[in-house]
Structures are given as C-alpha cells and as structure tokens.
C-alpha cells in the first residue's frame, strides 16, 4: 500500500517540477506533438478524440443520466422495494474504519459526479463562473477519494473476489426482478456489489490518473512516453477518452449503488451509517454469509 502511496506522491511531485522546466507541449516538443497528427501510421488520436467528444460523449452521458434512473423508476413501480424488518437482531459488520473510509469516498462521489455532469453539459449551463467552479471542485474532491481508494480496496478485497455463486446471481440478477423474497446464496457482498467494488476501485484509480494528467497537462514523465511511444498531446487525448468512457461505467454503477441501498432494499443504507446489518436482510440476500455468521454464533 505504501508503495502505491509513494508512487502517487511521486507522480504529483514530478508534475509540479515539470512546470518549472521546459514545456512538454509548446516548447521544443511542439514539433513532436503536432507532426504526427492524422498521419497514416499514427493512431489518429486527435481525430478520434474530436469525433468522440463532438458527437458521442455528451449524448452517452445524457443517456446514462436519464436511462439508468428511468430503469430503476420502472423497477420500483413494477417490482417494488424489498422490505425487511429492522427490529430483529443485528450484526456489527462495518466498524468505524470501514464507515469512515466509505463515507469519505461517498462524499467525494457526491461532489465528483454532479460536477462532472456540469462540465460535460457545460454549454447548457452557459460556461463561465459556475462551470469553472464545478471544474475546480471536480479536481479538489479527487483528493479525498484518492486518499481512501487504496485503503478501501484493501479492506474489502477478500469479500470482493468473484466465485462460482456469482454466476448464478447474475443469471437471476440477484432476484431483484421478482417480488418474492428469495434466498440468495451470496457471501458478504453479492455479485452486483462486487462488480461495483471493481468499477469503483479500478475505475476510480483510472479516473484519478487520467484526470490528474489532464489537470497537470504540461507534466514530464519520460516513462510514459517510452512505454507508449506517444507524444504528450496524444497521451492527453488518451487520458480524455479513457476518462469519459470510464466515466460512463462509474456513473451508471454509482446511480445503481445509491438506488439499491436507498430504495430497492428499504433502509439498507443504514448499515453503512450505523455499522449494523439486519438479520433478515443477511438471511435472504447473503445466505452464505448468514450461515457463516450463524456458525460463529452471531445474531
């Protein structure tokens, strides 16, 4: 973990040093940056970025922003929420450390996602001060998330590894398509939660790195050029494309995560606030975990 932390700090340090030294974009490097544009043997990243950003990115974000909540609204109306009694026995599953890490990530996301949308639909908001502020907040709230993402990855890693039961979970979509309460043989995290874990952690780190590249812009990292053979502007183009595409997945699953915890399973969100999970919820939705806890004499 320390290794990653050092690597992250080193990245930031290198980037700030780069400001003081020769520009990687407009100085001598400018020739290298612009000569390859659109040529046959190049990846045509400039053309690709222009095409995607001008024609698709904003529309896909709009589709995610409207489509995902619409699907859940219909689900809520047709299938309805799963309601479990909250008066039964409880199990203390999330300690203060778990909850603090989760809450810092949660607050970061609650700022990052809306400000990201304000930037994407910047023309709708008329640009200027409001959108500029959103851009600055988008950068600032990356810092708390960057601090907790590695601890969060480590603390839930064991529970987030996929197993054979997860295939069955996906086949019936966790039983969320039926009104009946079914016994789902999931461990502490079901396959959906595991999927969110990987998108939030790996996707989140990808977002941090690609976002940092775009924020620092004129940084110098020989390693990246040697590794990819790309010029500085091409690296930035890759970062912008990756940041947007990964953004679709992160936002879609973030909305899903909020819907599941707040609406689909009534009151499930309380478990990450108080740390206590309800016996009935665990028994039905995480039966494998329930059996294990029972053996240990919990509940």
Partner 1 sequence: MMEYARMKFYCDESRCIECDGCSIACAEAHELPVGISRRKVITINEGIPGKEFSTSVACMHCTDAPCEQVCPVDCFYIREDGIVLHDKEKCIGCGYCLYACPFGAPQFPRDGAFGAKGAMDKCTMCAGGPLETNSEKERHLYGQNRIAEGKVPLCAAMCSTKALLVGDAQSVSNIFRARVAARGKGANAPYGWDKAYKNQ
Q: Rule CB under 8 A: which residues touch partner 1?
A: 19, 23, 25-26, 30-31, 33-35, 37-38, 46, 49-50, 53-54, 58, 119-123, 125-128, 131-132, 135-136, 139-140, 214-215, 217, 233, 236-237, 240
Note whether 246 and 206 are within 8 A (CB).
Answer: yes
Rounded to a whole number of angstroms, the minimum distance from the CB of residue 95 to partner 1 is 34
125 vs 276 by CB, closer to partner 1: 125
Note whether 221 and 24 are within 8 A (CB).
Answer: no
Rounded to a whole number of angstroms, the minimum distance from the CB of residue 3 to partner 1 is 27
Rounded to a whole number of angstroms, the minimum distance from the CB of residue 8 to partner 1 is 18
91 vs 138 by CB, closer to partner 1: 138
- Burial (0-12, 13-18, 19+ Cβ within 10 Å), 102: middle
136 vs 228 by CB, closer to partner 1: 136
118 vs 155 by CB, closer to partner 1: 118
Q: What are phi and psi of 186, to 5 degrees?
A: -100, 155
76 vs 248 by CB, closer to partner 1: 248
152 vs 233 by CB, closer to partner 1: 233
- Burial (0-12, 13-18, 19+ Cβ within 10 Å), 236: buried
Rounded to a whole number of angstroms, the minimum distance from the CB of residue 43 to partner 1 is 13
Note whether 116 and 247 are within 8 A (CB).
Answer: yes
Cα–Cα distance, 290 to 284 (Å, whole number): 8
55 vs 292 by CB, closer to partner 1: 55
DSSP 1: -
Rounded to a whole number of angstroms, the minimum distance from the CB of residue 121 to partner 1 is 8
Provide the 10 A C-beta neighbour count for residue 204.
24
Task: Write out 40-101 in H/E/C secondary structure.
Answer: CCCCCHHHHHHHHHHHHHHHHHHHHHHHHHHHHHHHHHHCCCECCCCCCCEEECCCHHHHHH
45 vs 148 by CB, closer to partner 1: 45
| Best CA proximity match to 258, nearest among 202, 207, 193 | 193
Rounded to a whole number of angstroms, the minimum distance from the CB of residue 16 to partner 1 is 8
Rounded to a whole number of angstroms, the minimum distance from the CB of residue 122 to partner 1 is 4
Rounded to a whole number of angstroms, the minimum distance from the CB of residue 53 to partner 1 is 4
| 175-192: burial string, b at 16+ Cβ within 10 Å, e else | bbeeeeeeebbbbbbbbb
């Amino acid at each position: 973990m320390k290794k990653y932390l050092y690597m992250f700090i080193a990245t930031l340090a290198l980037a700030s040093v780069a400001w003081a030294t020769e520009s990687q974009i407009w100085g001598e490097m400018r020739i290298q940056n612009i000569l390859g544009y659109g040529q046959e043997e190049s990846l045509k990243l400039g053309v690709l970025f222009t095409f995607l950003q001008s024609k698709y990115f904003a529309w896909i974000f709009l589709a995610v922003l409207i489509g995902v909540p619409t699907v859940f609204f219909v689900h809520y109306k047709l299938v309805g929420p799963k309601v479990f009694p909250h008066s039964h026995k409880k199990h203390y599953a999330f300690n203060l450390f778990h909850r603090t890490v989760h809450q810092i990530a949660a607050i970061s996301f609650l700022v990052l996602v809306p400000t990201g949308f304000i930037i994407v639909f910047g023309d709708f908001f008329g640009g200027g001060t409001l959108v500029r502020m959103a851009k600055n907040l988008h950068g600032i709230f990356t810092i708390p998330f960057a601090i907790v993402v590695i601890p969060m990855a480590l603390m839930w890693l064991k529970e987030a590894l996929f197993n054979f039961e997860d295939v069955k979970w996906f086949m019936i979509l966790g039983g969320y398509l039926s009104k009946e309460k079914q016994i789902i043989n999931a461990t502490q995290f079901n396959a959906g939660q595991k999927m969110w874990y990987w998108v939030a952690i790996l996707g989140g780190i990808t977002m941090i790195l690609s976002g940092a590249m775009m924020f620092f812009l004129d940084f110098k990292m020989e390693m990246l050029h040697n590794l990819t053979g790309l010029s500085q502007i091409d690296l930035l183009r890759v970062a912008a494309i990756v940041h947007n595409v990964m953004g679709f997945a992160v936002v879609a699953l973030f909305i899903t995560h909020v819907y599941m915890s707040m609406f689909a399973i009534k009151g499930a969100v309380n478990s990450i606030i108080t740390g206590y999970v309800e016996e009935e919820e665990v028994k039905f939705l995480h039966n494998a975990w329930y059996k294990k806890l029972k053996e240990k004499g919990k509940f």
